[in-house]
C-alpha cells in the first residue's frame, strides 16, 4: 500500500509541537517525535513546520548538514505532496541527493548537531561493524571483544545514538546507576564544597581580596588543566598500549562519550570518578603551597569552580540552544566529535588550542575567515 497524498492546506496546519510536518521536494515528513531529541531545541524545527526544508538543510553557512541528517528523515516519511503543488525551495536549491550519493558525500565539514541524534539501527549496526551491541551491557563487550586498538579507535569515534535518547546499558547490574549522572548533580554537590573550602581558606588569609585572587588563580589554572586532561588523558588514543585493559579504561573514561555523545546521563563526570581524578590535585596544590595550607585550598577551590563551569558548559553545548558565543563554541565542539577528534580539545574556550596549535579550522570558523 502506497503512502497518501497530503495537500498543501493540510501540510500548513502541522506547524506546532503537537504535530510538525516538513517537506523536501514532494516528500512529506512527520518529525513530531524528533522534536524533543533535537539538540538545538524544538523551536528550530517548529520554525520550519509546514514548510520545505531543502534550503536550511543545504545552507553551509548557517546550518550545514551531513549525510546522517538526511538519513534520519527516512523513518519519518509519511506521504507526498500532489503533483503541481510542490513549493519552490527558498534560494532555488534543488532537493538534496539521496544519502550516500556524491552530492552528500562531498560535505566535508560536519556542522550539524542533528547528526549526533540519528537513532542507530542497533541490529544493522552490529551486523555491519561487528563492534558493540547497544542492547547489551557495553563494558563486558569491550573487555571481552578482543578488538585491536586500531579497530576500536575507528569504531568508538563513529557516533551512535541510542533509541529514544535513553542511555545504553553499560554494566547491566548494580553498578549501572553509578555510571549515570544528571547535569544538576554537579553544581548541587560541588558548589557547597567550594563555598566551604573558600570559607576555611579565608580564615587563614589576610583578607577576602587575597582569597579571591588565589581563587581566580585556580580558575585560570583549570583552563590549562581542562585542555591537558582532554588531550593527554582522555585522548591518549594512539599512544595507549594495544591491550584490553587500556582499551576498556579508554572507553570508560571518554570513549563512551564519543561513541554515544548525546547520552544525557553520561555527559557530566560521575562524582565517584571525579573524586578519584581530583584527589591527586588536592595533594599537588598543598605540595606547591606547602608553607600555607589556606593558600593551597583557595587555589584548589578555584580549580574546582573551573571544573563545574566546564562540565555544565559541555552538557549545554550538547543539549541546549545557546547565545551566539556559545553557538560558535557548540559548532567547534561538534567538529571535535565529527571532523577531527585529535584537535579541538578546548571545551569552554579555544585559547589553549590556539597556543598549542590544535585549533580546529572549518568552514565558517573565525580562524578560516582570517586566513
Which positions make up the binding site?
38, 65, 230, 235, 254, 257-258, 314, 318, 333, 336-337
3 state SS of 64: coil
Contact of 202 with 297, CB cutoff 8 Å: no
Residue 278 has φ and ψ, to the nearest 5°, of -85, -25
Question: How many residues make up the chain in this entry?
Answer: 371
d(CA 352, CA 371): 19
Report strand pairing: 21-24 vs 77-80.
Answer: unpaired
Cell, residue 20: 510538525
* Cell triple for 224: 590549562
For 223, phi then psi, to 5°, come to -55, -40
Residue 80 dihedral angles phi and psi, to the nearest 5°: -130, 155
In our burial notation (b when 16+ CB lie closer than 10 A, e otherwise), range 120-147 reads: bebeebbeeeebbbbeebbbebbeebeb
Cα–Cα distances in Å, from 64 out to 56, 68, 102, 354? 8, 12, 16, 24
Tell me the three cell numbers of residue 153: 579507535
Q: Write out the binding residues for Zn(2+).
A: 230, 235, 254, 257-258, 314, 318, 333, 336-337
> Binding site membership for heme: which residues?
38, 65
Amino acid at each position: 500500500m502506497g503512502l497518501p497524498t497530503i495537500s498543501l492546506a493540510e501540510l500548513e496546519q502541522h506547524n506546532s509541537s503537537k504535530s510538525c510536518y516538513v517537506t523536501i521536494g514532494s516528500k512529506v515528513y512527520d518529525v513530531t517525535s524528533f522534536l524533543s531529541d533535537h539538540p538545538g531545541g524544538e523551536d528550530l524545527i517548529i520554525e520550519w513546520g509546514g514548510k520545505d526544508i531543502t534550503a536550511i538543510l543545504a545552507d553551509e553557512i548557517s546550518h550545514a548538514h551531513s549525510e546522517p541528517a538526511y538519513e534520519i528523515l527516512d523513518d519519518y516519511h509519511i506521504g507526498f505532496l500532489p503533483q503541481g503543488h510542490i513549493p519552490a525551495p527558498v534560494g532555488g536549491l534543488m532537493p538534496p541527493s539521496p544519502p550516500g550519493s556524491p552530492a552528500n558525500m562531498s560535505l566535508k565539514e560536519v556542522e550539524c548537531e542533528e547528526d549526533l541524534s540519528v537513532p542507530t539501527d542497533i541490529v544493522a549496526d552490529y551486523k555491519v561493524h561487528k563492534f558493540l551491541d547497544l542492547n547489551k551491557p557495553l563494558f563486558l563487550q569491550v573487555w571481552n571483544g578482543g578488538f585491536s586498538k586500531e579497530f576500536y579507535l575507528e569504531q568508538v569515534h563513529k557516533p551512535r545514538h541510542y533509541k529514544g535518547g535513553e542511555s545504553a546499558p553499560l554494566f547491566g547490574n548494580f553498578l549501572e546507576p553509578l555510571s549515570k549522572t544528571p547535569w544538576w548533580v554537579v553544581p548541587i554537590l560541588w558548589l557547597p564544597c567550594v563555598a566551604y573550602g573558600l570559607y576555611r581558606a579565608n580564615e587563614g588569609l589576610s583578607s577576602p581580596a587575597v582569597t579571591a585572587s588565589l581563587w581566580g588563580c585556580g580558575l585560570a589554572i583549570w583552563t590549562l588543566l581542562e585542555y591537558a586532561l582532554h588531550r593527554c588523558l582522555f585522548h591518549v588514543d594512539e599512544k595507549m598500549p594495544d591491550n584490553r585493559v587500556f582499551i576498556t579504561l579508554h572507553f570508560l573514561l571518554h570513549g563512551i562519550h564519543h561513541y554515544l555523545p548525546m547520552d544525557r546521563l553520561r555527559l557530566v563526570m560521575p562524582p565517584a570518578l571525579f573524586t578519584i581524578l581530583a584527589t591527586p590535585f588536592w595533594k599537588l596544590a598543598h605540595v606547591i603551597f606547602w608553607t600555607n595550607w589556606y593558600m593551597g585550598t583557595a587555589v584548589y577551590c578555584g580549580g574546582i569552580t573551573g571544573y563545574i563551569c566546564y562540565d555544565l558548559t559541555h552538557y549545554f553545548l550538547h543539549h541546549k540552544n545557546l547565545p551566539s558565543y556559545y553557538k560558535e563554541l557548540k559548532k567547534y565542539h561538534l567538529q571535535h566529535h565529527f571532523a577531527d577528534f585529535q584537535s579541538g580539545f578546548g571545551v569552554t574556550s579555544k585559547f589553549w588550542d590556539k597556543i598549542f596549535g590544535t585549533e580546529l579550522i572549518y568552514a565558517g570558523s573565525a580562524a578560516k575567515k582570517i586566513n
